[in-house]
A and B are shown apart, each in its own frame.
Chain A
Amino acid sequence: MDTSERSAEAVGNTQDLEAFPEFFGLAEPQLRRALVAAYGSERGREATAEALAWAWEHWPELCRMDNPIGYLYRVGQSRTRPRKRRVVFDAPAGTEVEFEPALPRALAELSERQRVAVVLVHGYGLTHREVAELTQTSASSVQSHLERGLRRLRRSLEVTSDG
């Protein structure tokens, strides 16, 4: 079962307000990861909150959609798009992962679509189809953005192998 099927199931059977927390639990991490990848830490989180607030406001309508999380992704996009600001990622603090200091800037230099594909597919292991459904593009487009984004990111970081 893919992400859109799970999200549809989360809202599909019970269209009452009690189902919202379940949907929220499923949708929040997906939206946050995608929108933070697209717009950076602060804007991405803000866009996520905007999208989920819209979801709560329009819950009965959302219940009728085939791909509610994909729709909310576009809501998040539209809420943040007018603000043409730089994409900025906050470097993680207190993580056990050895962190490349140049990564936030290198990631920010990719195009929006490249960042989303790289983060969701290469980082979180989503399939091309799952990312395509979330961003309402084609799987081949995701593949193309992923390849170009990874190539550019690795070049920026001077990474020549996965290791």
Chain B
Amino acid sequence: MDELSRQLVALVDATEPVEIDEVLTRPVASGPPPSGWRRPVLVAAAAVLALLVAGGVLLLVARTDDGSRTRVATETPAVPTTDDAPDTTTPPPTSAVPPVTVPAVLDRTQLSTDGVGSLAFGDPLEEAEALTGVKARLLDCGDSEGQVIEIDGATLWFGDGEFRLWDVRGPGWSTVSGVTVGMPADEVVARVPSLERGDSGSGGYLAFPPLPTNFLVTLDADDRVDDMFASMARALLPASELCW
């Protein structure tokens, strides 16, 4: 071990270990992890402008914290108990574990301005391919190229090898605020009151003022969500690469 190695270890090991009692008694946020976003984030970005010019639109969805649950410590690693989640008061069996749903790595209910579930904007393409199990394809837009991963009505866009934008126009996906494709615009606004209506000239949209922002929704002729987009703040692919 060289001197640098020793110093690195000393630096990191200077952090006090986490004790098991601390974990068993720790209040934790509820909700499915890994979630990439827990506080309202309003980020203006050049993104929307590019999208609007190209005929698309974005909305910024705010999500508030889900609250927390508290485990009660016991002398041994015991059954977690909570005040508000009676399901967790039932001890897990010690022999036969009931069927449980393993959290999806790419959580389709966690669209946000941070990315999609555990896949955050800025993550490398190879990581996205590993998480989704889908190989990216090259999208040739004429004078520029981008890479996309397409999954069941959602498209993940990559520029310079990193995750830059998601575009959802199919069912089965929702933002952290519960906004889905096909949802009436009024319901979207009820869920995210800060959104304001606009018209790009080619159709209506909902977005947080002021533009540009990094998350918006296009509306169809029936005033329902047609398409949702979110992009990495200030780092959206140029409109020419989006192949609208």
Contacts and interface: CB of A to CB of B under 8 A. Distances in A.
B101 to A, nearest CB: 8
Interface string A134-163: 001110010000000000011001010011
* Chain A interface SS verdict (over half): helix
Contacts of B12: 32-33, 36-37, 89, 119, 123
Contacts of A57: 28, 69, 71, 80, 88
B198 interface: no
Interface in B14-28: 14-18, 20, 22-24, 26, 28
A129 interface: no
A136 B130 contact: yes
B29 to A, nearest CB: 7
A58 B85 CA distance: 13
Contact of A136 (B6, B69, B131): B131
B190 interface: no
B55 interface: no
Contacts of A119: 8, 12
Interface residues of B, number: 61
Given A20-B77, A82-B41, A123-B8, A52 B23 contact: yes
Given A17-B78, A32-B15, A123-B9, A54 B28 contact: yes
Given A65-B102, A78-B34, A138-B126, A49 B14 contact: no
Given A91-B11, A137-B127, 7 more contacts: A17-B78, A54-B33, A60-B98, A74-B34, A95-B10, A137-B130, A141-B124
Interface of A: 15-18, 20-21, 24, 28-29, 32-33, 36-37, 41, 44-45, 48-50, 52-61, 63-65, 71, 74-75, 77-79, 81-82, 89-93, 95, 97-100, 103-104, 107, 118-119, 122-125, 136-138, 141, 153-154, 157, 159, 162-163
Query: Can you list the 5 inter-chain pairs with the closest CB atoms, starting with the nearest?
Result: A78-B34, A123-B8, A92-B14, A16-B94, A162-B2
